[in-house]
Structure 1
Amino acid sequence: MADLWSQKCYKLYFLSLFYVFHLLFITEETVAVRCYCDPCHHSNTNGTCETVTDGACYATISLTLLSDNEEQERHTWGCLAPHEGTLFQCEPLPVLHREVTQCCKEGDLCNLNLNLTFAESDNASKYEDPDPEQRKESPTLMVLLISLTVCLVFLIATFVVVYHRCRRQQLKRKQLLVDCEHETFIPPGNTLHSMIDESSGSGSGLPLIVQRTIAKQISLVRSIGKGRFGEVWKAKWRGENVAVKIFFTTQEQSWFRETELYQTVLLRHDNILGFIAADIKGTGSWTQLYLITDYHENGSLYDYLHLHALDTSEMLILAHSAACGLSHLHVEIAGTRGKPAIAHRDVKSKNILVRSNGTCCIADLGLAVRYVSETNKVDIASNTRCGTKRYMAPELLQETLNENHFDSYKQADMYSFGLVLWEIARRCVINGVVFDAELPYYEFVSSDPSIEDMKKVVCVQKLRPSIPEEWANQEYLNITGKLMGECWNPSPAARLTCLRLKKTLCKILDGLEESPK
């Protein structure tokens, strides 16, 4: 591409040179005119001759010395060809002062109207200027000078533009070579997960220089989802599947926040979406904000539940693994390189992905908040986005949440997680019967409810998703239903913690595995 552009640059430059020389050496052309001639050479008897293109008519007066030392004037008229040098022959001869010649091109027989006289001075015999109205000076010299000046300026400007464009292309090629040299940071044969495992051990993805290298080598395959933040693509890197979340430029704060949180020390966990790299790619006309993560073929929990009916074991594994991921976010790990406590703030089935082994991982940390224990402050995102209305806790709908108390955010997460548990449990087969996959409160509100709609249902009417009567006759669904009720309790302080929920689900799962088939 760069070589093609260089060829275009040089073509433009040489075309400019041709244009300049064309202007420089093509003088003003005139049409042929008829002139009076005497004596007439190679002409008819009518006493006229005809010039060729760009020729001129001339008239000459000269002094001839006779034998008795007397001078006699001699007049001649005729046609002058352009190759005979009209610029010099039509000027007086300052040395001899014995001959005066004038030329004209202003119409047929114009040389009959030329007034030729000698000056009276003996030392400076010059011809007398004709009448200004009759004589028009040739603009050839002035045209040449102006054309030369303009062409020189044009040539210099063209050269500067061509030089800078070609130089810029050379720099781009050098940058590409530098980027290729960065391949040394990624030895052939290494996989993404092996490189992550061999990195600093912080669990915050790859080293930054390797992140930029991978981002430049990503090949987008197809779009797999869209949202308010941007678009998610399935992509390839060295034959490996990865997911690329491309943010709108208006969502730069969300991209920065999510990248910052994913790079938190010790965040990496089996049940949290694996972060690979983040980069900003400029394509000239627009900017793309990349967040590159692990790719999971099953997609989100929301999509998975619409396509799969679950048995009791699958239901508990999905619920327990999702609780493990959320619990790891919520917990604070003390130490020199510890992990802060993080609240998700947008827990829902579309933000939980299903891995190939049937477990869940938590995704989308764009709204998450951190608790800084050293300062006892909540580090909240600066963007104005709020969580999904359908999954908002009552205190969020009523705007009574204590923003300075970090536990308030974790309790709001648990309310949302209770609704996710309800979605999972609905798809569990009971005596050969399974309920359709539905969103929470589907029977009370529309597909896109407003905050006022949710506030009326959740806070005023104090409704919750209905628990089917069939669950009471199934041990594990009955227990799961009770856990949901404790998660979406109207009082935030009375809700289960995620750690408690995880341990309870773990016991239920262990009991299921130990029970006879």
Structure 2
Amino acid sequence: MPLTLDVSIVFIVWLSTCFPSRAATPKRRCMYFAKPQNTELTKVAGNISGHWQLCAITECCMGYFQLEDGKPKPDLLGCTRNTTNCPNSSCHASMYQKNIIGCVCSSDFCNTNITWNQKTTQNDTKQPQKAFNTTNILSASILIIPAGALILYIFHAIAMKWRILPKCSRQVTRPDTHYILEVLNNDLSKQLEMQKVLACGSFARVWQGTFQGSSVAVKVFPPALKQEFTKEKDVYKLPLMMHSGIVRFLANGKMENEFVLVLELATQGSLNVFLSRVMCDWACTLKLAQTLSQGLAYLHTDLQMNEAYKPAVAHCDLSSSNVLVKANGSCVLCDFGCSTVLERKALQGYTGMVEGRIQMGTLQYMAPEILEGCVNLSSGRCLLQGDVYSLGLLLWELLMRCSDLCNDFPVPEHMLPYETELGRNPSLEHLLTFVLEKRLRPTIPRPWARVSQGPLLHELLEDCWDHDADARLTAECVANRLASLPPRCCFVMNEVGV
């Protein structure tokens, strides 16, 4: 009789406690996830803190994933219990049994990023006895299945009787974790089905396609732009680079001679396209603004979690074309081709952060100091504050399409920042005159003053696009202010001239 995965894992973890382990003082940290029936038995491998486990016995992380429609879904993550040999620093998954892949690895949080060769996995399915040999903790079960089945049945019956595998008493929020698939042979041609072109940018084309049975966005770089592909891929693969406000990175590889990033599909398209066709009420507008600012605040965060470190990242090309809108009406950041990864010392004002010219983005979203070319390369803060200026313009752009802010006045057509004053594609010379010399900004409509949020929004925008970069808010402060806004628009009785 075949054993279920959950029951097999319970028995294997229990069995490993029967074998002596060598004394060690490891400091390995692993991403942790276990189903309720496995929680008690996995605790012996180390202390659990939220979604991480500090290994108490070995220096190896394990990851076991169930394949559902060809896509890996985490089933058990954490530290290994016995003295497993784990020479690989990354998670090279192999087939354990039908529809189950697993790995052991030897670096912090290595069990979150899967390297999985489907071709090898298919071969392993035909010869399961060669799949894991001595390099994974499940090998013991292969050697003792005849006797183990009986022991397992008895153990599981006792466990259920004494309820040592209880159900969770509360809802456990799983981490927003990427399980990144990096195809070993780099060939995604047979796994991707391209359907239609969604957008064409300076560096790449974006297609809609299917990958492992799901609709995805596929960003395709020509061979000559391998450096740009590598730069963007490296940003997506930074430690802890996972947040609901950043587009999910799924895989990278090649199709013939072109380089490919596979990303989640935001079905509403770019914020630019979305605002061109949709007028929003206050609730919709507020959700767009809050999720946009929260995503940027996380991108800017210099984050240390246990031994995993995410440096702050300056987007450097924040525009409504580089923000996507998901089906649930939330924003996610994308397109990190111009981004700059900031070392911790750069945020503290030390010199030597960047050598040479910083690659910047769309003209009308650039901060005055960046337009002028007076960026202080000795401090990472200037680049982050340049993003906040762009954020202010983006907030103005989406607030202009809010019907509740207009009261009885018609909602204006979607326009880019400075489009009314300087046209849709303003020149650098015109922007320098208008933004830098005259210190002018997009017009804030007077009808906004008739609603309760109007003065707060006016102040927020001005604090984002202040001419003095040091006087601007941080992205985190913007997110906090937006979070404090009332959820409904209330009409203010005092009349204001239009």
TM-score (norm 2): 0.61
Instruction: Give the whole-Å Cα distance in 2 for the aligned partners of 1:341 and 1:196.
Output: 31
Residue 479 of structure 1 and its aligned partner are, at CA, apart by: 1.7
Instruction: Give the whole-Å Cα distance in 2 for the aligned partners of 1:302 and 1:196.
Output: 39
Equivalent position of 1:277 in the other structure: 251
Q: For residues 380 and 477 of structure 1, do their structure 2 counterparts lie closer, same or farther at Cα, with a shift above 3 Å needed?
A: farther
Aligned with residue 283 of structure 2, among 313, 325, 342: 313
Instruction: Give the whole-Å Cα distance in 1 for the aligned partners of 2:275 and 2:204.
Output: 24
Aligned with residue 444 of structure 1, among 421, 430, 434: 421
SS in 2 for 1:338: strand
Instruction: Give the whole-Å Cα distance in 1 for the aligned partners of 2:71 and 2:382.
Output: 37
Residue 463 of structure 1 and its aligned partner are, at CA, apart by: 1.1
Alignment partner of 1:340 is 2:311:
yes
Instruction: Give the whole-Å Cα distance in 2 for the aligned partners of 1:391 and 1:450.
Output: 12
Cα contact 1:369–1:381 (8 A) shared by 2: no
Q: For residues 230 and 332 of structure 1, do their structure 2 counterparts lie closer, same or farther at Cα, with a shift above 3 Å needed?
A: same
Instruction: Give the whole-Å Cα distance in 2 for the aligned partners of 1:358 and 1:233.
Output: 21
* 2:255 partner letter: K
Superposed CA offset, 1:426-478 (max 9, x none): 00012253121100001222322222121111011211000111111112243
Cα contact 1:343–1:368 (8 A) shared by 2: yes
Instruction: Give the whole-Å Cα distance in 2 for the aligned partners of 1:464 and 1:342.
Output: 26
Q: Which has the higher strand share?
A: 2
Cα contact 2:418–2:442 (8 A) shared by 1: yes
Alignment partner of 1:230 is 2:207:
no
Equivalent position of 1:252 in the other structure: 226
Instruction: Give the whole-Å Cα distance in 1 for the aligned partners of 2:332 and 2:253.
Output: 23
Aligned with residue 416 of structure 1, among 383, 387, 390: 390
SS in 2 for 1:361: strand
Equivalent position of 2:140 in the other structure: none
Residue 338 of structure 1 and its aligned partner are, at CA, apart by: 1.5
Cα contact 1:276–1:292 (8 A) shared by 2: yes
Alignment partner of 1:490 is 2:460:
no
Residue 480 of structure 1 and its aligned partner are, at CA, apart by: 1.7
Residue 370 of structure 1 and its aligned partner are, at CA, apart by: 1.3
Equivalent position of 2:271 in the other structure: 301
SS in 2 for 1:349: coil
Cα contact 2:66–2:72 (8 A) shared by 1: no
Q: For residues 313 and 280 of structure 1, do their structure 2 counterparts lie closer, same or farther at Cα, with a shift above 3 Å needed?
A: same
Q: For residues 378 and 337 of structure 1, do their structure 2 counterparts lie closer, same or farther at Cα, with a shift above 3 Å needed?
A: farther
Equivalent position of 1:372 in the other structure: 343
The aligned runs of 1:43-442 (5 Å cut-off) are 188-190=67-69, 192=71, 194=73, 200-201=111-112, 203=177, 205-209=179-183, 212=186, 216-282=190-256, 287-334=257-304, 335-373=306-344, 385-429=359-403, 430-432=406-408, 433-442=410-419
Instruction: Give the whole-Å Cα distance in 2 for the aligned partners of 1:193 and 1:355.
Output: 23
Residue 481 of structure 1 and its aligned partner are, at CA, apart by: 2.2
Q: Percent identity?
A: 28
Residue 226 of structure 1 and its aligned partner are, at CA, apart by: 0.6
Instruction: Give the whole-Å Cα distance in 1 for the aligned partners of 2:184 and 2:68.
Output: 15
Residue 404 of structure 1 and its aligned partner are, at CA, apart by: 1.8
Equivalent position of 1:458 in the other structure: 435
Gaps of 5+ in 1: 1-184
Instruction: Give the whole-Å Cα distance in 1 for the aligned partners of 2:355 and 2:69.
Output: 36
Cα contact 1:309–1:427 (8 A) shared by 2: yes
Q: For residues 242 and 420 of structure 1, do their structure 2 counterparts lie closer, same or farther at Cα, with a shift above 3 Å needed?
A: same
When Rg is computed on C-alpha atoms for both structures, the one with the higher figure is 1
SS in 1 for 2:308: coil
Instruction: Give the whole-Å Cα distance in 2 for the aligned partners of 1:333 and 1:188.
Output: 32
SS in 2 for 1:397: helix
Instruction: Give the whole-Å Cα distance in 2 for the aligned partners of 1:249 and 1:197.
Output: 39
Residue 496 of structure 1 and its aligned partner are, at CA, apart by: 0.6
Q: For residues 275 and 382 of structure 1, do their structure 2 counterparts lie closer, same or farther at Cα, with a shift above 3 Å needed?
A: farther
Cα contact 1:243–1:294 (8 A) shared by 2: yes
* 1:512 partner letter: P
Residue 195 of structure 1 and its aligned partner are, at CA, apart by: 5.8
* 1:408 partner letter: C
* 2:200 partner letter: K
* 2:286 partner letter: L
Alignment partner of 1:472 is 2:351:
no
Cα contact 1:369–1:379 (8 A) shared by 2: no
* 2:452 partner letter: E
Aligned with residue 484 of structure 2, among 496, 502, 507: 507
TM-score (norm 1): 0.59
* 2:421 partner letter: F
Residue 224 of structure 1 and its aligned partner are, at CA, apart by: 0.7
Equivalent position of 2:102 in the other structure: none
- How many residues align? The count is 326
* 1:291 partner letter: L
Instruction: Give the whole-Å Cα distance in 1 for the aligned partners of 2:185 and 2:440.
Output: 47
Instruction: Give the whole-Å Cα distance in 2 for the aligned partners of 1:413 and 1:502.
Output: 14
Q: For residues 211 and 406 of structure 1, do their structure 2 counterparts lie closer, same or farther at Cα, with a shift above 3 Å needed?
A: farther
* 1:201 partner letter: T
Q: Which has the higher helix share?
A: 1
Q: For residues 480 and 459 of structure 1, do their structure 2 counterparts lie closer, same or farther at Cα, with a shift above 3 Å needed?
A: same
Q: For residues 381 and 446 of structure 1, do their structure 2 counterparts lie closer, same or farther at Cα, with a shift above 3 Å needed?
A: farther
Residue 193 of structure 1 and its aligned partner are, at CA, apart by: 7.5
Instruction: Give the whole-Å Cα distance in 1 for the aligned partners of 2:196 and 2:418.
Output: 33
Cα contact 1:368–1:381 (8 A) shared by 2: no
Residue 374 of structure 1 and its aligned partner are, at CA, apart by: 5.8
Instruction: Give the whole-Å Cα distance in 1 for the aligned partners of 2:463 and 2:367.
Output: 13
Equivalent position of 2:80 in the other structure: none
Cα contact 1:205–1:263 (8 A) shared by 2: no
Instruction: Give the whole-Å Cα distance in 1 for the aligned partners of 2:480 and 2:300.
Output: 14
Q: For residues 483 and 210 of structure 1, do their structure 2 counterparts lie closer, same or farther at Cα, with a shift above 3 Å needed?
A: farther
Q: For residues 322 and 425 of structure 1, do their structure 2 counterparts lie closer, same or farther at Cα, with a shift above 3 Å needed?
A: same
Instruction: Give the whole-Å Cα distance in 2 for the aligned partners of 1:437 and 1:196.
Output: 46
